[in-house]
Amino acid sequence: MPIMNSKTGEVRRNYTTEELVEKAKEMRAYNMIALTAAGSGHTGGTLSIMDIAAALYLKKIRHDPENPDWEDRDRVFWSAGHKAPALYVALGEAGYFPVEEVVKLRKLGSGFEGHPNRLKLPGVELSSGSLGQGLGVAIGCALRAKLEKKNFRVYCINGDGELDEGSIWEGAMCAAHYKLDNLVAIVDRNDLQIDGSTEEVMKLEPLADKWRAFGWNVVQIDGHNMAEILTCLDEAEKTKQKPTVMIARTTKGKGVSFAEDMVGYHGISPKDGRSGEESLDRALEDIGDSKFTKEKVDGLLEIAENCQKDIDKKVEASMPKFRKNYWWNSGDSMRAEMNATRNGFGKALEKLGSDERVVAHGADITSSIRMSDFYMNHAKRKNRFFSIGIAEANMALVASGLAKEGKIAFIGSYGVFVTGRNWDQLRTTVCYNNFNVKIADAHAGISVGPDGATHQALEEISNMYYLPNMHIAVPCDAVETEKATQVIALLAGPAVVRYAREATPIVTTKDTPYQFGVANVVRYRGEEKDFIEAFETKLSTDYESENEDLGIIACGLMVPEAMRAACILREEYRLETRILDVHTVKPIDKRAMVKAADELGVIVTAEEHQVGGFGNIVAGVIGQGKRYGVPLLMDMVGVQDKFGESGGPWELMKVFGLTGEHIAERAKKLFDRKAEG
């Protein structure tokens, strides 16, 4: 059925096959404009799934854009949530909102997040992005329809790399067991994932035979042949007593010459921006939709630009104000070098690779998290690198087996996946057995930016801290990340190092003291040309009180922000601040924390994490150890019990209240309370 009026049963709009082909072109054009305006996103997979998206939303499924929650609508679940821009364009073309709005992709507060958020955009059935979960939800919806004798049908869109996840095959077994003939799984079989071809990363073939063995009706089609797509969807409705899987052979980057079959275009927008060999203009020329004139494209990009201008105003309005601008590199003095902490991890892993005991595992973002540095310049090490595919739980177990046999096994992925999806495996197999598994908790925190909530790890400090035998390093910059990674590799037992994706300030050097388990005390000494020269750092065991006014206890990327806060507090209010850089969260430096609490009486904790994950650990340490009768005021800076969202990394730091300005403001209020008695 085409797009419906749910109240009258009338058809709102019906497209012919030929019209759908043209609509798919238009959708590809909007998609490429949105990706270019965002400056990030997934080109390859959005283009490969576009014909199927057009067929579903403009022709096949029963739905009503004017009544998105219509009880009898067909449901489409995008388990492959990174293909979100294709979903947004399809919804726009169907009439859920003006399609031109999709150019606000990945912009703060727009609703068009890097991965779908069902709470912010009509027509989205599932907030998704953690691969392997959509099929199970689709099965639950199909079961409900059977249970209550509803006629709606359920579709689930999966990427082929996503089939590495064991949860997909658990779902496949379940759907066949319950004979869900109202369910269709659609596999975008474009043969590529981030680390290379699917057959190189983790062999999927014979894919059709595997689905048949699980009891599914299997149909293989050309995913770019509109007539074939529609025929297959029609035939699936006639199949009884078993679910249907449509394996759609597609081309990643379809329709854009420079992106077709290019693994590098999995997760990036056009490299050359608006014009050039790999640009928006070239993409639109390839797509060949004459409606997208220069004037039209200019107008669409202007919508995105104006949206960003409004965001900039709101973001700046959210910032505390002081007599001067203390923001990073805003003036001629206090200049800081920026570098991504992940680069520190990569440097350390490359050095560690000379030890034959060290092995490394890939989970399809190997280069992005710098796990590939292990073997990139050392061909002989490749046989000690094991690609597990998108299968975090299995990766933890395979690494455990290698660790049991005497290896030091590194695993890694987005922090939310490598410490969350496989938490039970980390608890029961890795930690209970005290295996030498080292976890790269990569792209952690809200500063991962436009990918949105599903990819922003904000809970894993808590999740890891309460696991017996686990060691936790949360370094503050790329230099400290390199040191921490080298240390945890040689510790007996499991360990995790938490680091970020985006470039952040370098605030330590190779000569800065570092001792695992011992916090550093950082003191602001006065304005200098280079930010790093304005501070003195000592091991907490070597530090004697200077009778500071307050203390900031921070970990990770909040340490540089705490340093800026110390600068603000001195320059604006003549307040002296003792900063504890807690680069080792477990074992934590209890002595330094209790000493700070007893000597200062005012403590603010700072974490790029759900507030209290780190802060409550600190509070517990202080509460158990501080002297009775010594008063203490304490506050915590962190994400306030909510999920992240898409936006620029520094935008998110500002609007979530995680900057040095926010820390300084909170610390000053706390100090004033103490002064008031």
- Residue pair 318/652 in contact (Cβ under 8 Å)? The answer is no
pLDDT, position 654: 98
* Domain end among 505, 535, 554: 505
Q: How many domains does the chain have?
A: 3
* Domain end among 505, 538, 553: 505
pLDDT above 70 coverage of the chain, percent: 100
pLDDT, position 229: 98
pLDDT, position 276: 96
Residue 431 has pLDDT above 90, yes or no: yes
Q: pTM higher than 0.75, yes or no? A: yes
Q: Are residues 498 and 525 in the same domain?
A: no
Contacts of 310 (CB under 8 A, 6+ apart): none
Q: How far apart are CA 145 and CA 62, in angstroms?
A: 15
- In this structure, is residue 312 part of a structural domain? no
Q: Are residues 625 and 478 in the same domain?
A: no
Residue 643 has pLDDT above 90, yes or no: yes
pLDDT, position 19: 97
**Range list of β-strands (E), 203-266:** 217-222, 244-249
Q: Which domain holds residue 567?
A: 520-675
For the stretch 168-180, what's the b/e string if a residue is b when 16 or more beta carbons lie within 10 angstroms of its beta carbon?
Answer: bbebbebbbeeeb
Tokens of 374: 């292990």
pLDDT, position 416: 97
pLDDT, position 677: 79
Mean pLDDT of 246-257: 98
- Residue pair 164/391 in contact (Cβ under 8 Å)? The answer is yes
- In this structure, is residue 320 part of a structural domain? no
pLDDT, position 18: 97
- In this structure, is residue 328 part of a structural domain? no
Q: Are residues 498 and 527 in the same domain?
A: no
User: Strand pairing partners for 9?
Assistant: none
Tokens of 314: 């709101």
- In this structure, is residue 251 part of a structural domain? yes
- In this structure, is residue 544 part of a structural domain? yes
The closest alpha carbon to 60, from 69, 51, 68, belongs to: 51
Each residue's pLDDT tens digit, 201-220: 999 999 999 999 999 999 99
Question: How does the average pLDDT of the chain come out, rounded?
Answer: 97
Tokens of 100: 């031109």
Q: How far apart are CA 589 and CA 551, in angstroms?
A: 15
Q: Are residues 475 and 602 in the same domain?
A: no
Q: How far apart are CA 457 and CA 414, in angstroms?
A: 8
CATH number at residue 200: 3.40.50.970
For the stretch 273-311, what's the b/e string if a residue is b when 16 or more beta carbons lie within 10 angstroms of its beta carbon?
Answer: eeeeebbbbbbbebbebeebeeeebeebbebbeebbeeb
Res. 107 pLDDT band, cuts 50 70 90: very high
Each residue's pLDDT tens digit, 480-504: 999 999 999 999 999 999 999 999 9
Res. 1 pLDDT band, cuts 50 70 90: low
The closest alpha carbon to 579, from 658, 668, 593, belongs to: 593
pLDDT, position 673: 96
Each residue's pLDDT tens digit, 404-414: 999 999 999 99
Q: How far apart are CA 503 and CA 478, in angstroms?
A: 9
Res. 124 pLDDT band, cuts 50 70 90: very high
- Residue pair 485/348 in contact (Cβ under 8 Å)? The answer is yes
Mean pLDDT of 603-621: 98
Q: Are residues 250 and 358 in the same domain?
A: no
Q: Are residues 219 and 280 in the same domain?
A: yes
Mean pLDDT of 498-512: 97
Residues of the chain by 3-state class (helix, strand, coil), percent to 5: 45, 15, 40
- In this structure, is residue 198 part of a structural domain? yes
Q: Are residues 346 and 251 in the same domain?
A: no
pLDDT, position 347: 98
CATH number at residue 543: 3.40.50.920
* 408 to 377, 419, 434, 439: CA distances (angstroms): 20, 18, 12, 11
The closest alpha carbon to 644, from 458, 499, 501, belongs to: 458
Q: Are residues 450 and 540 in the same domain?
A: no
- In this structure, is residue 316 part of a structural domain? no
- In this structure, is residue 293 part of a structural domain? no
Q: Are residues 131 and 272 in the same domain?
A: yes
Residue 663 has pLDDT above 80, yes or no: yes
- Tell me whether strands 154-159 and 584-586 are parallel, antiparallel or unpaired: unpaired
Q: Are residues 229 and 82 in the same domain?
A: yes
Each residue's pLDDT tens digit, 26-71: 999 999 999 999 999 999 999 999 999 999 999 999 999 999 999 9
Q: Are residues 270 and 131 in the same domain?
A: yes
pLDDT, position 430: 98
Res. 173 pLDDT band, cuts 50 70 90: very high
Residue 52: left if φ>0, alpha if ψ -120 to 50, beta else—which one? alpha
Q: How far apart are CA 533 and CA 315, in angstroms?
A: 30
pLDDT above 90 coverage of the chain, percent: 99
Question: Helix, strand or coil for residue 257?
Answer: coil
Q: Are residues 555 and 476 in the same domain?
A: no
